[in-house]
Amino acid sequence: MSDTEPMTLQPRQERTIMDVTSVEIGIEESVLHAEGKMGEYGKVYSTVRFKYNSDRSGGTFTDEGRGFLDEDTMLSGTGMGIWRREGARVILEELINVSDGTQNFHRAVWDARENKIVVDSYIIR
């Protein structure tokens, strides 16, 4: 018997499609840069640093983002998660802390052939 309730995730905002602007391939890590309009976070720029597992088919990652709501307001976000590759697609799942106090769970899919990342954002807090 558990003391906790099952977790139900509610969307934070509409699905976001981000453009991949560059990818740096490395031996120890690879780095991806992306940008897009992300609902309540405005114009968002993101840098993702991928670390590889032993067979290089997945691993862990960190994510730094900046969102510009208007000419006077910027939010900062920091995330970490796990990733796995399925063909030309990379699936990312992460927890994000945002400087406005919100916390999100993101599930994203990067299609390396199309240079797009589809992001679904869910409310943690």
Where in the chain are the domains?
16-123
Contact criterion met (CB below 8 Å) for 47 and 63: yes
Instruction: Inform me whether the pLDDT recorded for 2 exceeds 90.
Output: no
The angle at the Cα of 89, spanning 95 to 34, to the nearest 5 degrees, equals 60
pLDDT score of 99: 98
- Estimate the share of the chain in helix, then strand, then coil, as percent rounded to the nearest 5: 0, 65, 35
* pLDDT tens-digit series, residues 6-24: 888 999 999 999 999 999 9
- Residue 40 φ then ψ, to 5°: -75, -5
Contacts of 6 (CB under 8 A, 6+ apart): none
pLDDT score of 3: 76
The angle at the Cα of 57, spanning 38 to 83, to the nearest 5 degrees, equals 25
* pLDDT tens-digit series, residues 42-78: 999 999 999 999 999 999 999 999 999 999 999 999 9
pLDDT score of 51: 98
Contact criterion met (CB below 8 Å) for 17 and 117: yes
The model's pTM is: 0.92
